[in-house]
Amino acid sequence: MTDITTLGELKKSGYRSRSIKEELRENLIRKLQAKEKIFEGIVGFDDTVLPDIERAVLSRHNILLLGLRGQAKTRIARMLVHLLDEHMPIIAGSELHDDPLSPMSRQGKDIVAEKGDDTPIEWIHREERYVEKLATPDVSVADLIGDVDPIKAASMKLAYSDERVIHFGLVPRSHRSIFVINELPDLQPRIQVSLFNILQEGDIQIRGFKLRLPLDIQFVFTANPEDYTNRGSIITPLKDRIESQILTHYPKTIDIARQITTQEAKLTPEQREKVEVPDLLQILLEQIAFEARDSEYIDEKSGVSARLTISGYENLVSTAERRMLINREDKAQVRLTDFWGVVPAITGKVELVYEGEQEGPYGVAVNLMGSAIKKAFLDHFPNPDKLKKGEERDPYGTLRAWFSGGNEVELLNDASEKDYRKALDEVAGLRKLVESRLQVKGEEAYIFMELVLHGLAEVNVVNKEVMESTFSFRDILANMLDDDLFDDDYDN
């Protein structure tokens, strides 16, 4: 129908005007019946958030998406555009996207009155029918609703009583569109009040003008529950006018979290081709985020965004890539030591409580990685302190003896693949433990061999020291003896 250029042709075509809420509803019904994917790329909400949104659209409701940061609220709002018709007719040149069959603005009515069936028609794509505004304390009523424009009045020689002097704000310009306000509680209460009539009656008031603009808008608001107490709140009358409030959430399982991370991480084709991230370490990265959401050091009300693992995954790959380039190697596999490159992605993504501030961002990040490593270790290997009933022989006996003999192993962050494997192979009993417990062979064993070292350090079987770019593992008693010798020298 986009070849139609006049109002007369549009009437003959049988085009039917619909409100935007009816349009969204009808297109959703068609997609549901055809079993089409509606929210492409949204993972983990299939049984919770997405059905709630579909019910809200079918009910023709305005929507409030309520959830902590990094829960895909804005992305979901943007994807509602796909429920609009691909193209929509408007009166050519109309400021407020007037419906040719039912113009709303003074400008649109005047054009139709003057030109009748010869009124020129334009078609706009659905992407142009999406308007988004980030709520900030400095947003004014004029920004959202509009104000008198003295320059327009002077240039057109109009009196201030003439409605043509009005400069419309974002909301009127969103007529027949989806209008999204992100972080709604950040709007000052007096600004929120200006939305009352729009939501309930569909009209606006500007500087005392007696306007009745029956605006046709699908409103979507997003908010963080923490905003209610920290920075502002959604005033009760406004919240009462938003028909559907939908709660979002973080991924509930590691598998879902992994899907989100691998989908959203921005890697170059070269990185995808040359850097391998073992499943064990992908799971470990996601476990760090799960540990952070339960950590006593982190403000649970602020949340831990999915961006932590997305940024962490990108840093992890880049750390391995950098090592590969330094050593002039063709391929690289991510190691546990590479997680040191994830620290900057953690420290910038969490809000610390008082205890966390005392520990420091770096200390909290190390603590989270340690907790995740310990869980991964105990998921694959027996707990050294809790041997199974009937298991007389200590599976870590050879390792303990090797470290007790004064041996130590150093893993350099930027060590070549050859040096890295050589260092692990020198640890007596390490490969045998991994191969007997996990039935892995060859190159696959190295990642688990390193996990054993880090895991034993987390359960205090061996001592781990981090010195700039080196991880050093040795007997925990040897470290204590060194401290005693130092004390004796100091006393003498």
| pLDDT tens sequence across 113-153 | 999 999 999 999 999 999 999 998 888 888 888 877 777 76
Return left, alpha or beta for 202; rule: phi > 0 is left, psi -120 to 50 is alpha, else beta.
left
pLDDT at residue 153, as a whole number: 67
Give the residue-averaged pLDDT of 293-319: 93
pLDDT at residue 490, as a whole number: 44
Query: CATH assignment of 7-247, given 3.40.50.300, 3.40.50.620, 2.60.120.10, 3.30.70.920?
Result: 3.40.50.300
Query: Does the pLDDT value for residue 10 go beyond 60?
Result: yes
Q: Which has more pLDDT, 259 or 212?
A: 259
**Which runs of consecutive H residues, i.e. helices, occur in 34-104?**
49-58, 73-79
Give the residue-averaged pLDDT of 254-262: 95
- The 10s digit of each residue's pLDDT in 47-76 is 999 999 999 999 999 999 999 989 999 999
**Mean pLDDT value across the chain:** 88
pLDDT at residue 245, as a whole number: 95
pLDDT at residue 303, as a whole number: 86
Per-domain boundaries in the chain: 7-247, 262-380, 385-492
Quote the percentage of the chain above a pLDDT of 90: 66
Q: Taking the alpha carbons of 281, 356, 256, 73 in that order, is the dihedral positive or negative?
A: negative
Q: Which has more pLDDT, 2 or 397?
A: 397
pLDDT at residue 209, as a whole number: 62
Measured CA to CA, the distance from residue 424 to residue 397 in angstroms comes to 17
pLDDT at residue 480, as a whole number: 55
Phi, psi for 252 (deg, rounded to 5): -90, -15
Lowest mean pLDDT among 209-223, 250-264, 392-406: 209-223
Interhelix angle for 307-326 vs 279-294, to 10°? Answer: 140
Query: pLDDT tier at 486 (50, 70, 90 boundaries)?
Result: very low
Highest mean pLDDT among 11-15, 198-202, 418-422: 418-422
Q: Which has more pLDDT, 226 or 336?
A: 336
Domain 385-492: give its CATH code.
1.10.10
For 130, what's the count of Cα atoms within 13 Å in the CB-facing half-sphere? 17
pLDDT at residue 392, as a whole number: 61
Query: Does the pLDDT value for residue 33 go beyond 70?
Result: yes
pLDDT at residue 134, as a whole number: 92
pLDDT at residue 168, as a whole number: 83
DSSP readout, 112-173?
A: HHHHGGG-BEEEEEGGGGEEEEE--TT--HHHHTEEE-HHHHHHTT--TTSGGGEEE-TTGG
Highest mean pLDDT among 29-43, 202-216, 220-234: 29-43
Query: pLDDT tier at 368 (50, 70, 90 boundaries)?
Result: very high
Query: Does the pLDDT value for residue 278 go beyond 90?
Result: yes
Query: pLDDT tier at 492 (50, 70, 90 boundaries)?
Result: very low
Fold of 262-380: Helicase, Ruva Protein; domain 3 (1.10.8)
Measured CA to CA, the distance from residue 50 to residue 372 in angstroms comes to 31
Measured CA to CA, the distance from residue 224 to residue 184 in angstroms comes to 9
pLDDT at residue 485, as a whole number: 42
- The 10s digit of each residue's pLDDT in 284-305 is 999 999 999 999 999 888 889 9
Q: List CB contacts of 139: < 8 A, sequence separation 6 or more.
A: 133, 187, 188, 191
Lowest mean pLDDT among 35-49, 153-167, 292-306: 153-167
Query: pLDDT tier at 363 (50, 70, 90 boundaries)?
Result: very high
Query: Does the pLDDT value for residue 372 go beyond 80?
Result: yes
- The 10s digit of each residue's pLDDT in 169-190 is 898 889 999 999 999 998 888 8
Residue with tokens 């049984």: 47
pLDDT at residue 319, as a whole number: 96
pLDDT at residue 161, as a whole number: 59
Give the residue-averaged pLDDT of 332-350: 92
- The 10s digit of each residue's pLDDT in 431-478 is 999 999 998 888 889 999 999 999 999 999 999 998 878 899 999 876
Query: pLDDT tier at 158 (50, 70, 90 boundaries)?
Result: low
CB 281 within 8 A of CB 336: yes
Q: Which has more pLDDT, 225 or 313?
A: 313
pLDDT at residue 272, as a whole number: 95
pLDDT at residue 302, as a whole number: 83
What's 340's DSSP letter? Answer: G
